[in-house]
Structure 1
Amino acid sequence: MKWLWRYGQTEVGFWKDVIKAKYGIQDHWCPKESNEPHGVGVWKHISSFQDDFFWEVSFKAGNGLKIRFWQDKLLGNSMLKDSFPFLFQIASNKEAIIAQYRDNNFWAPIFRRNFQDWEINDIFSLLETLESTTLVVEDQYRILWGNSKE
């Protein structure tokens, strides 16, 4: 898991460029997994731990440019798509980054349709949950181990 941690923490490096070139990029945090039946590469073995790794980490938003709103662990130990599954279903962009849902320091998630009466409590709960998270324009994102605050 050490190399997965380094991959997410390191912006530049020859070794990271080689991994990106060989496997491609899934997202900022990890390369695509190799599904080729032949060969046993070192990175192929390391990447087999991705699910376990992402279960153990969370993210500090920083400026919100690289962390996905619904699909990364923004708040503690769960993803917003798991905490608010009905809202995730009607989200206009399930791959949106955090910065897309901020408007002048206010949270403004975008949905495909208006809310039904029974969904109003969910949106209030989501906004209340997000209220404790602030973006700092100058800061970069950070990967945090476990549910740590810093």
Structure 2
Amino acid sequence: MGIRDLRKQNNSLLMKWLLRYNEEGQALWKDVIRSKYGEYNPWCSNVSVDAYGVGVWNTIRNLRQKLEANTYIEVGDGRRTKFWTDAWNKQIPLKESFPDLFLLCSNPDANINECWTAQGWDLIFRRFLNDWEVERVAKLLELLEKFSGITNAPDSLR
């Protein structure tokens, strides 16, 4: 086994900690990480800016981009997934696909369960929309047609 294989195996083992960070709700080690670094979003901690004593978690946290490139968010109850800023529905974040609508939304940090009702999507904007903006909302809703609704299961990474 060469050095390249060892590094690849080591990265895979470290990446498992990122997956565990997402799956384990109230684990003590996760509470320690969260209290020390803060939470960037429900899926990941903040990046550490300290120069001393944080090498292991920095190494793990730096693998986040590789993990995101190979996973997607599976929406369950919609409580952990941000409607505009998270990459869910197997695509890029909606704020990148529809930046004009993102600027108009009344709550850019809204979770999916706040935007979804039994009748469908309930998107709230800060002002009345112009004609061309209504067309953009129609395109957004067309893109979201595949969404079947929220469930009782928690959101997860796949």
TM-score tier, shorter chain, comes to 0.7 to 0.9
Q: What is the CA–CA distance in structure 1 between the aligned matches of 2:66 and 2:125, rounded to whole Å?
A: 31
Please name the residue that 2:10 is paired with: none
Task: Tell me the CA shift for residue 54 of structure 1.
Answer: 2.6
Residue by residue over 1:49-71, the C-alpha shift from the partner in whole angstroms, topping out at 9 and shown as x without a partner, is 22333333221111111100001
Task: Tell me the CA shift for residue 14 of structure 1.
Answer: 2.5
Q: What is the CA–CA distance in structure 1 between the aligned matches of 2:45 and 2:119, rounded to whole Å?
A: 32
Q: CA RMSD in A?
A: 1.7
Please name the residue that 2:62 is paired with: 48
> Which entry has the higher C-alpha Rg, 1 or 2?
2
Whether the 8 Å contact between 1:59 and 1:74 is mirrored in structure 2 is yes
Query: Which shows bigger deviation, 12-21 or 105-114?
Result: 12-21
Give me the identity figure in percent: 36
Please name the residue that 1:28 is paired with: 42
Residue by residue over 1:73-108, the C-alpha shift from the partner in whole angstroms, topping out at 9 and shown as x without a partner, is 122131111111111111111111011111224101
Code of the residue aligned with 1:30 in structure 2: it is C
TM-score after normalising by structure 2: 0.82
Code of the residue aligned with 1:27 in structure 2: it is N
TM-score after normalising by structure 1: 0.86
In terms of fraction of residues, the more helix-rich structure is 2
Task: Tell me the CA shift for residue 2 of structure 1.
Answer: 2.1
Q: Does 1:107 align with 2:121?
A: yes
Unaligned runs of 5+ in 2: 1-14
Code of the residue aligned with 1:4 in structure 2: it is L
Residues paired across the two proteins, number: 144
Unaligned runs of 5+ in 1: 145-150
Q: Does 1:65 align with 2:79?
A: yes
Structure with more contact order per residue of length (Cα contacts < 8 Å, sep ≥ 6): 1
Please name the residue that 1:89 is paired with: 103
Q: What is the CA–CA distance in structure 2 between the aligned matches of 1:68 and 1:25, rounded to whole Å?
A: 14
